[in-house]
Amino acid sequence: MELQVKDNGADSWEEVMIIYNAALKEIYTKLEILNDEFQHVHKYNPIEHIKYRVKTPRSIVKKLKRHGYESTLENMVKYCNDIAGIRIICDYTSDIYRIADMISNQSDIKVVAIKDYIANPKPSGYESYHMIVLIPVYLSDRIVDARVEIQIRTIAMDFWASLEHKIQYKFPGEVPQHIQEQLLENAQMVSQLDAKMMALNEEIRKIAGEEGEENE
């Protein structure tokens, strides 16, 4: 049963926050286990680090208003898919799809939406891989499925996105055209850098593998 609530005061708000925080903890633990197992099998960690957060009430209300919804607890759960968010940072673009596959293959995680902004970047140049998933949270009297947004990106993509976010905050109306153009140009450079670094890593792994075979 997917999480559903009715507005009836602070108790409901606190319970909803407990559920979202529990969902984040569950996914975080899964990712740590997958990363450890990957290191054991392949001698390599695809995940560099993980960040997670629950949206603040102010951000939730702002988003609901922007989409024309009344600021109620019920609307929050129904229309906000990113209240609980987790961001996975990795080294290479190939890791992004590898991690996405590992998440999708978890039997108790249901993927409900995917937005691939790497294959199809936003007009601003933004690149990232987004997933909306449902994960079961086991309470004392019931099981509820909570929605979590997962973002997967490289270190370079995350650096660019962080800079863009700060710029958007400084220009709440519209970012000046020349800054938008520079951001787009830098995003294209980030994409090229990611491609070059991934190719270099593959070449190094190939050489190391060949040398390892020769020394056997």
Tens place of pLDDT per residue across the chain (216 aa): 666 665 544 468 888 899 999 999 999 999 999 999 988 887 888 999 999 999 988 888 888 988 899 888 888 888 899 999 999 999 999 999 999 999 999 999 999 999 999 999 999 999 999 999 999 999 888 899 999 999 999 999 999 999 998 998 888 778 899 999 999 999 999 999 999 999 998 998 888 875 555 554
Using CB atoms within 10 A of its CB, is residue 213 exposed (0-12), middle (13-18) or buried (19+)?
A: exposed
DSSP, collapsed to helix, strand or coil, labels residue 158 as helix
Domains of the chain: 10-155 (3.30.460.10)
**Would you please indicate which residues are annotated as catalytic (active-site) residues?**
149
pLDDT at 215: 53
**What are the distances in angstroms from CA 174 to CA 113, 167, 168?**
29, 10, 8
Task: Tell me the whole-structure pTM to 2 decimals.
Answer: 0.88
198 neighbors 92 (Cβ within 8 angstroms): yes
∠ CA 125-129-135, rounded to 5°: 150
